[in-house]
Structure 1
Amino acid sequence: MTMTLSLRIKTLCGSCHLMQLRKKSSVLKPQKQICKSVLEHFDEVYSKELGESWTRAREVMLSPSSWQYAVMLNRFSFSEGLEAYFQNQGLSDIFHDVQVPSSGWLKCYVSRIAHRYPAQRHQQGRLKDYYLLNAASLLPVLALEVEGGNHVLDMCAAPGGKSLAILQYAMPGNLVCNEPDCLRRKRLKEMLESFLPELCRSAVTLSNLDGREFGQLHPEVYDKVLVDAPCSNDRSWLFTSDIPQARHWIASRKELPVLQVELIRSGIAALRPGGILVYSTCTLSQSENSNVVDQILQSDCGVELQNLDKMAHAFSDIFTFSANTQYGLLVLPDRERAWGPMYVARFKKRYPP
């Protein structure tokens, strides 16, 4: 009798949650204001680097109402009812027909139209059921190909979406989520607690190092390293309301590749021979993407660049990839494919001779 009652309560709670989803998912936020100085800067740089591709990407990026959001289900609080609801709403699992690369457990639902479901609020003692994200941000996690028992470093982890995706993909032996900023690290910790049961939290370590220190302090420790580097966050920059801050970002933009190269070198030093490092950004900038990879290859850091063509082919029906990227993959925001920007490159550390 008690078990039957508890099941009925759980079913009713699930139904209430779905009703709230239906009500909230149609609410639109006020239109964001475009930062003119950032747009002028992007027009100057990206029209040269991307040509006609920038025209299409520009159209999408300037229209937040056309942006798409993906729903990543939480394996630790999985609900068949919620999954069925998303399916009935016309969303599709991007991993349903993907054979290469393996998608582990990951379940991520996307809609062909611009639609954003409400983010779930934290409730004490209850895990969240899903996480909202740009679907292209899962590509670095897939490229990492984490296996059970791996020692993994997410060097620039906050706000934590990719760390969470790693834990959805496979349960590593240990995942180090690094964030030097105190406030961002606190938010990262709270996010992980909202999605992970206590038994799984022992596999996660929060760290506050400068990412450039890992190679020296922890040499050849990790099987996989993700460097989702600080970058020119194109979508955020375009809609900043702080004009002085925007001008400062533009003026100091040329300094970012120096930091990015240093972070990658540190990650390579922290890798075991044969280990994988994935470098990613959320910018279209050639100087922060292919040029950074070129610097690593030219400096002979003991790694080889790996081909990601199979990944591009597997997701060609979902994402628009740039045809003019020298190294790695670049996802371009496009009409009805409003994902990205997202750049991904993968290195493998060579064994010593």
Structure 2
Amino acid sequence: MLTRLKAKSEGKLAKQLCRVVLDQFDKQYSKELGDSWSTVRDVLTSPSLWQYAVLFNRFNYPFELEKALHLRGYHPVLQGASPDYPQSMKCYLSRTAERMPSEGHQPGSLKKYYLLNAASLLPALALEPRDGETVLDLCAAPGGKSVALLQCAYPGYLLCNEYDRLRGRWLRQTLESFIPQPLINVIKVSELDGREMGDAQPASFDKVLVDAPCSNDRSWLFSSDSQKAACRIHQRQNLPVLQVQLLRSAIKALRPGGLLVYSTCTLSKAENQDVISEILTSDSSIVPVDISGIARTFSRDFTFAPTEQKCSLLVIPEKGKAWGPMYVAKLKKGLSARKRQGELCEPC
């Protein structure tokens, strides 16, 4: 396995920056991030600096690979973290831009690991999945966060929804590659428009993850077609509308007392903090959940930018910690008045 490790991916060096997108990002993020944008810009525009974490598959654990990574200086992202975090999730990362080769899909065979941006683990950890719970991953493709959720706990039922049919196939293949057949039986993949999920399955889930469609900063910066890139930038202003609609649907699908996590892979304030503020000011059933402790716990491996919201955090990339962008916000659906009254009346 050691011989398969690569110091750098040659393919990353071949990427071409899209000037249309970069100009837009310079204009917007220099205002929103201030001096931090210069550092973030250097990483986002230099794929040779990008890092890839190795998430182990608990259902086909790679013991030999674990030893090899230790020898190469990798360390687990949850090393030294609170005992509240799941011991079953094992993800290793390095300070360098070294990248493991991806494993190919083989029907009937489980992969040993999943390569990902380590910040993608934070939405799953923030959701705090527990054994036996009913969980919804509303915008699930390509499936990395669904896989991460399953490394944390055994759900009673997990619905992985993806509206786009092609991405849905990718999602199914990912699940087949990482999840054993007995557990597949409690997982369902659907292709419903996420904005309709709340009406289709009202108050059905203990936990809901909304990893929303967003202006993916990393991929947009390397758009190969400048005309399409210009169109994306023009349409960007409509994304918060969709994101709010998805969140409203997710809230309907959430049981009273349930938890919801919203995440994106963009730095955009309009798609992050502003979306959450809109929900909090317009829906009295939703309350913010303080996750500032996550930033303190993982400050060794991630760099966080201030969001002015205790219920949210923003991971920004820097050299040696080239993780993110990743925005994560945590919300809770309040109990109904009848339920609260019942709890107050129960004897001690």
Question: Which of the five TM-score ranges fits, normalised by the shorter chain?
Answer: over 0.9
- Aligned mates of 1:56, 1:324 — CA distance in 2: 18
- Aligned mates of 1:100, 1:128 — CA distance in 2: 27
Give the C-alpha shift of residue 81 in structure 1.
Answer: 1.3
1:252 is aligned to 2:224: no
**Residue-by-residue CA offset, 1:140-189 (whole Å, 9 max, x unaligned):** 00000000000000000000000000011111011100011111111110
- Aligned mates of 1:219, 1:163 — CA distance in 2: 21
Where do 1:196-211 residues align within 5 Å?
196-211=179-194
Where do 1:196-345 residues align within 5 Å?
196-326=179-309, 328-345=312-329
- Aligned mates of 2:88, 2:305 — CA distance in 1: 28
Counterpart among 88, 96, 100 of residue 113 in structure 1 = 96
Tell me which amino acid in the other structure corresponds to 2:330.
R
Q: Which residue of 1 aligns with 2:342?
A: none
8 Å CA contact retained: 2:212, 2:243: yes
Aligned residues: 335
8 Å CA contact retained: 1:104, 1:170: no
Q: Which residue of 1 aligns with 2:77?
A: 94
Give the C-alpha shift of residue 20 in structure 1.
Answer: 4.9
Q: Which residue of 2 aligns with 1:151?
A: 134
- Aligned mates of 1:276, 1:207 — CA distance in 2: 21
1:28 is aligned to 2:10: yes
Where do 1:174-189 residues align within 5 Å?
174-189=157-172
Report the 3-state secondary structure (helix = DSSP H, G, I; strand = E; otherwise coil) of the residue aligned with 1:317: coil
Give the C-alpha shift of residue 126 in structure 1.
Answer: 2.0
**Residue-by-residue CA offset, 1:119-145 (whole Å, 9 max, x unaligned):** 001223321100000000100000000
- Aligned mates of 1:352, 1:57 — CA distance in 2: 43
Give the C-alpha shift of residue 82 in structure 1.
Answer: 1.4
**Higher deviation after alignment, 313-322 or 191-200:** 191-200
8 Å CA contact retained: 1:304, 1:348: yes
- Unaligned regions of 5+ residues in structure 2, if any? 338-348
Tell me which amino acid in the other structure corresponds to 2:15.
K
Q: Which residue of 2 aligns with 1:3?
A: none
Q: Cα gap change, 1:181/1:324 in structure 2, threshold over 3 Å: closer, same or farther?
A: closer
TM-score if structure 1 supplies the norm length? 0.92
Tell me which amino acid in the other structure corresponds to 2:230.
R
8 Å CA contact retained: 2:107, 2:176: no
8 Å CA contact retained: 1:228, 1:279: yes
**Higher deviation after alignment, 34-43 or 321-330:** 321-330
Q: Which residue of 2 aligns with 1:53?
A: 36
8 Å CA contact retained: 1:227, 1:264: yes
Q: Which residue of 2 aligns with 1:167?
A: 150
8 Å CA contact retained: 1:328, 1:345: yes
Report the 3-state secondary structure (helix = DSSP H, G, I; strand = E; otherwise coil) of the residue aligned with 2:243: helix
Report the 3-state secondary structure (helix = DSSP H, G, I; strand = E; otherwise coil) of the residue aligned with 1:287: helix
Give the C-alpha shift of residue 33 in structure 1.
Answer: 0.6
Q: Cα gap change, 1:118/1:286 in structure 2, threshold over 3 Å: closer, same or farther?
A: same
1:77 is aligned to 2:56: no
Give the C-alpha shift of residue 301 in structure 1.
Answer: 4.5
RMSD between aligned residues: 1.3
Q: Which runs of 4+ in 1 moved over 3 A?
A: 24-27, 324-327
Report the 3-state secondary structure (helix = DSSP H, G, I; strand = E; otherwise coil) of the residue aligned with 1:76: coil
Tell me which amino acid in the other structure corresponds to 1:349.
K
